[in-house]
Amino acid sequence: MVGKQTADDRRWAEKTGRLAEYLTLWVYRLQGYRCLCRRCCILFGEIDLLMKRGRRILVLEVKFRTQNHLPEEMALPSKTQCQRIRQAALWLTKRLVLTP
């Protein structure tokens, strides 16, 4: 989409983003992970999903794209987003008790 987003566009993006997060949550739950946090706001921003199975913790940034013809690089989080996710993951793992 080119240009400014309308209120309807933002509502649609929010709704589809939440749906993508919900579906991702269940994919990982079916693989034995449990959700520690969903859309958790911390010092560094928001983490979409924080999942745990045993001692493994996943910090997930969920992306939903309507244009499947885009190059793979455009579907990935930006460098800034990756840094934010990394900082959040380090901050969270220092504060979590890692019991199986």
Classified by CATH at the fold level, domain 7-95 comes out as Trna Endonuclease; Chain: A, domain 1 (3.40.1350)
| Helix/strand/coil for 31 | coil
Question: pLDDT band for position 99 (50/70/90)?
Answer: low
Block residue for tokens 């579906």: 23
Question: pLDDT band for position 27 (50/70/90)?
Answer: very high
Question: pLDDT band for position 24 (50/70/90)?
Answer: very high
Q: Strand pairing partners for 34?
A: 52
pTM over 0.75: no
Q: Where are the beta strands (DSSP E) in the chain?
A: 34-42, 45-53, 56-60
